[in-house]
Amino acid sequence: MSTRFARTKDGFSYTKATGELKRGLVSEGAICPSTSFASSPQSTYDVIVIGAGYSGLVAARDAASAGLSTLLIEARDRIGGRSWTSKDEHGNLYEMGGTWIHNQQGFVWRELARYGMDRNLKLSPNEDYSSHAYSMARRNGIEYKQDYATNEAVMDRAMRIFTNLPGASVQEAVPFPPHLLDSFLSDPKLTALYDTTSCAERVAQVEKEGLLTNEELAYLVAYIELCFGARLEKCSMLVWAKWYTHGNCSYKLLNDLLIVYKIATGQSSLARKIFDEAASTGKLSYSFESPVSKIIDRPSATRVVTSRGTFSARRLICTLPINVAGKVEFDPPVSALRQEAWKEGHVNRCLKVHSEIAGPEFRSWTGNLCDDDVPSGRQLSMAIGDQLLKSGNAAVVAFGIDFDEEKAPSKNPRGIASLFGEFDPELEKRYIGSTWHEWGSDEFANGAWAMPGVGFSTKYLKELQSRHGNVLWAGADISDDWNSFIDGAISSGTRAAYTVVEEWRRTTLPSAKL
């Protein structure tokens, strides 16, 4: 590809040889120039969409395609929100946030298929380098290695035992995952039981009862921490159970859904398709680098105050991540319950770091860490070989938990190598450099994919979804489908846009003859 992409302010890269730390990376998602107005910026739009992540992009596209004058407002200088792809000078693509998709995540799959991109996939797992085709784990001072077939069988059994709480099978608590809180098939008492149990409590239980071995827990704990980007004390069994049942209670399917299939041309290429389609309708205006500070909702119209001025529209679709929505002032204020939810926020403070490791072998490798074994306080929980770079070296991607700004790689890039060294000293020796995004301190995300903590879903989810005057809420964080995923972002954006389009059609168009 010879296309020249622009640079975003987001993301970091570091090269050990030069000691150079760069802020800002090249991405297909960078938007330049940052504003475009299809009509006068003073006019009242049919709809304003806040946020150009997947949820907002899809909502803006659907609204603009249906003929609504649409304004997309975004704080960053790029599309994609928590999903974006950087491209280095050699043409290597790095997914900085949301990455993996699957044909059973129907909302994102539909987008890929519709744009004819569904056949251009890549795989993260790889067993080409047999010397390194294993998954290592360490717990209580003991280190394990399993080949992938063994690991699949171990994890399948361990997850089944772990996930089913005594007296309440996961299929009773979450019989039909897209309807977490009001499935006609589920028992609300069981749902509540799952949501008030933390994954840490459950680990203690299965360990005490001898249901799982130290080896099994070494792999399982790291996997669940990977899913939450947080220590298990903060993780709700209900949220975990929902994912597990989305995966039909099969480790293989769950893993296929979570961490296997990538878009070969990068997430930003899909986001770009959606954005370009919206722009091609001639109905889209947009304003990037325009953080919203205030939303004033009146019956006739909603006004949105940004750093670039105030805009107004008949409807507003707000896709602000729940961990930053509270920074925006609402007039009239949102409900006390919603404020409380925003204050509590979700628990995922994952740090995702790609590192180039000399030689191709680590392409086939997986590593898992538990707490006890990293005296200095652990930052990473899991790492996998993710791709071969143009250099012929492997790129290993690692996931952290409970991001600590004090220890941020951008403050101490030379320390990254030793973080990887916790898995295997060989990684530290072969370390070349890194590319990453610090989601935990990102002012427009303040966290990674949204993982509600213990009790959060049953207490707040309905409220977070409910409309507030002319303001409709969307985003992966509050989705009923694959919550916290690209799929959920697209699903909720799709639904919100449909509601707005329907209301617009009823009031704007002559009633059709039927």
Ligand X SMILES: Cc1cc2nc3c(=O)[nH]c(=O)nc-3n(C[C@H](O)[C@H](O)[C@H](O)COP(=O)(O)OP(=O)(O)OC[C@H]3O[C@@H](n4cnc5c(N)ncnc54)[C@H](O)[C@@H]3O)c2cc1C
Residues contributing to the annotated binding site: 55, 74-75, 292, 399
Q: How far is the CB of 495 from a copy of itself (least distance, A)?
A: 6
CA neighbours within 13 Å on the CB side: how many for 414? Answer: 3
Phi-psi region of 248 (alpha: psi -120 to 50; beta: other; left: phi over 0): left
93 binds, among a copy of itself, ligand X, none (CB under 5 to 8 A by kind): none
User: Is 454 near ligand X (CB under 6 A)?
Assistant: no
Backbone phi, psi, residue 153, to 5°: -65, -45
Q: How far is the CB of 419 from a copy of itself (least distance, A)?
A: 33
Site string for a copy of itself, 279-318 (x = CB under 8 A): xxxx-x----------------------------------
- Cα 237 from Cα 446, distance rounded (Å): 23
DSSP per-residue codes, 70-111: EEEE-SSSBSBTT--EEE-TT--EEE-S--B--TTSHHHHHH
Residue with Cβ nearer ligand X (94 or 194): 94
Is the peptide bond between 375 and the residue preceding it cis, with omega within 30 degrees of 0? Answer: no
- Cα 79 from Cα 53, distance rounded (Å): 6
Residue with Cβ nearer a copy of itself (41 or 106): 106
- Cα 514 from Cα 504, distance rounded (Å): 19
For ligand X, the binding residues in 80-109 under the rule CB under 6 A are 81-83, 97-100
User: Is 157 near a copy of itself (CB under 8 A)?
Assistant: no
For ligand X, the binding residues in 411-450 under the rule CB under 6 A are 439, 444-445, 448-449
For ligand X, the binding residues in 274-293 under the rule CB under 6 A are 291-292
109 binds, among a copy of itself, ligand X, none (CB under 5 to 8 A by kind): a copy of itself
Angle at 433 between CA 430 and CA 437, to 5 degrees: 135
- Tokens standing for residue 80: 């994609």
Per the annotation, where are the binding residues for FAD? 55, 74-75, 292
Cα 67–chain centre separation: 30
Q: Which of 9, 114, 145, 414 binds a copy of itself (CB under 8 A)?
A: 114
Structural element, H or E, at residue 186: none
User: Is 104 near a copy of itself (CB under 8 A)?
Assistant: yes
Q: Which of 423, 475, 495, 500 binds ligand X (CB under 6 A)?
A: 475
Residue with Cβ nearer a copy of itself (177 or 447): 177
Residue with Cβ nearer a copy of itself (80 or 177): 177
Contact 313, 46 (CB under 8 A): yes
Q: Which of 66, 369, 489, 496 binds ligand X (CB under 6 A)?
A: 489
- Cα 206 from Cα 218, distance rounded (Å): 13
User: Is 115 near a copy of itself (CB under 8 A)?
Assistant: yes
Would you tell me the crossing angle of helices 267-280 and 54-65 to the nearest 10 degrees?
A: 20
Q: Kindly list the distances between the CA atom of residue 435 and the CA atoms of 121, 204, 239, in Å, as whole numbers in the listed order.
A: 22, 36, 30
Contact 124, 102 (CB under 8 A): no
Q: How far is the CB of 254 from a copy of itself (least distance, A)?
A: 10
Contact region for ligand X (CB under 6 A) — 45-53, 60-68, 379-387, 453-461? Answer: 45-53
Q: Which of 117, 121, 296, 388 binds a copy of itself (CB under 8 A)?
A: 121
Q: Which of 157, 179, 327, 407 binds a copy of itself (CB under 8 A)?
A: 179
